[in-house]
Structure 1
């Protein structure tokens, strides 16, 4: 079952929406799905639906709500892709993490689910790393996160398991950045990195031309096993 839920921001004065997909029975845990730069579109909603099929309560908060609520863009349509890049430039990532934290609080307090993970893609992959360092989320996965090399100074704050999926031919994450990520994180006891040789950004998207089927299935299987171990 899917629905739209309302989440109260940390300041208590405003609210924003989230797409929620519910499992058939009692949730085994909850997973926050963190959007790409394209908003809570059909692909992100499908990620939630698949997690609900695995028994999780899955929520995808609308992190662009301060810019424009309800944005849904298609990365395969060039004007929409360019609009997404513009939105990313305007987006306050620190505030986005506070909205993710508000979503964690909502799940624990309003939904009564104690163990919460998050998984993010693209921009969401970067925000996943930030959430792992700045919130008490129980386990985190990031797909093709951008600019994580600039966040390595926060790695000491990562207290719960984090998994990162890294395509080696990512057009937004060059080899030097990938090398810095490995050098900074390979020795971290809570962090696991997986490389996907020859693949580009967005390889695990649910819809569209960016998807690489075999690699997407491999990464998603690793993610599923990771959450089963750390969330339930």
Structure 2
């Protein structure tokens, strides 16, 4: 893989999909597509990309709201607005934007054996779905929803998709999630175990939805967030740093 330390932080793919990119100081150990939560490309999401770059990864976050002409949902509307806005996506649109980000990693010199995906909230849903159809080395889902009921046309519930995972998958969930029940978490763990690849789902007592979002004090859970992030980096190291 070639060095990417001079990569610009905002790029547009040939198909017109914008990406937020963060690159490490030296040669990347691999590349990670970072899929945002329902709020879009927020300072929090950019900080996630920066953390990945600090760990040696070339991070590329597609702006899924670009078809609506925005990078993030209006903050004044809060979660209800974001939850409504995210339902405007379609499965093919999401897949096209993820594929554009993966193609960008390829042009930056990151081979398929070193490309991974990580997502948060609805991005966690996207990460698992992408791992059932795209050539990836690893996938990580932080509290991805639509476990038993789909969000978008063309994207089945996660319990139906999980047995078809094509790359190792790590799920990170809070057991007090108001949007995802503990029964759904357990069902997803069982479904993922049927896949022909290594899978693991870790759930945290006392943590709810978006427990990794350190920009939201009311729901941020530092201990769970730190453990989950450590596990995510270790998972990427294990599965996405193979020789191309």
Same fold (TM over 0.5): yes
Distance 2:178 2:170 in 1: 20
User: Alpha-carbon deviation of 1:200?
Assistant: 0.4
Partner of 1:207: 215
Partner of 2:146: 147
Partner of 1:186: 193
Q: Deviations over 1:53-79 (max 9, x none)?
A: 1111111110111122322554xx5x2
| Aligned counterpart in structure 2 of residue 172 of structure 1, from 160, 179, 182 | 179
Distance 2:117 2:181 in 1: 25
Does residue 132 of the first structure (1) align with residue 131 of the second (2)? yes
What secondary structure does 1:134 align onto?
coil
TM-score computed with the length of structure 2 as normaliser: 0.86
| Aligned counterpart in structure 2 of residue 8 of structure 1, from 2, 10, 14 | 14
Would the alpha carbon gap of residues 208 and 181 (structure 1) be closer, same or farther in structure 2, given more than 3 Å must change?
same
| Deviates most, 91-100 or 192-201 | 91-100
| Aligned counterpart in structure 1 of residue 169 of structure 2, from 157, 162, 167 | 162
TM-score computed with the length of structure 1 as normaliser: 0.90
5+ residue gaps, structure 1, are: 10-14
What secondary structure does 1:83 align onto?
helix
User: Alpha-carbon deviation of 1:121?
Assistant: 0.3
What is the count of residue pairs matched by the alignment? 223
Distance 1:69 1:26 in 2: 32
- Could you say what the CA RMSD is over the residues aligned between the two structures, in angstroms? 1.7
Runs of at least 4 residues of structure 1 off by over 4 A? Answer: none
What secondary structure does 2:190 align onto?
helix
5+ residue gaps, structure 2, are: 149-156
| Aligned counterpart in structure 2 of residue 111 of structure 1, from 94, 108, 113 | 108
What secondary structure does 2:191 align onto?
helix
Distance 1:158 1:215 in 2: 25
Q: Deviations over 1:8-62 (max 9, x none)?
A: 33xxxxx021111111111111111100000111000000001101111111110
Does residue 198 of the first structure (1) align with residue 195 of the second (2)? no
Partner of 1:12: none
Does residue 32 of the first structure (1) align with residue 45 of the second (2)? no
What secondary structure does 1:148 align onto?
coil
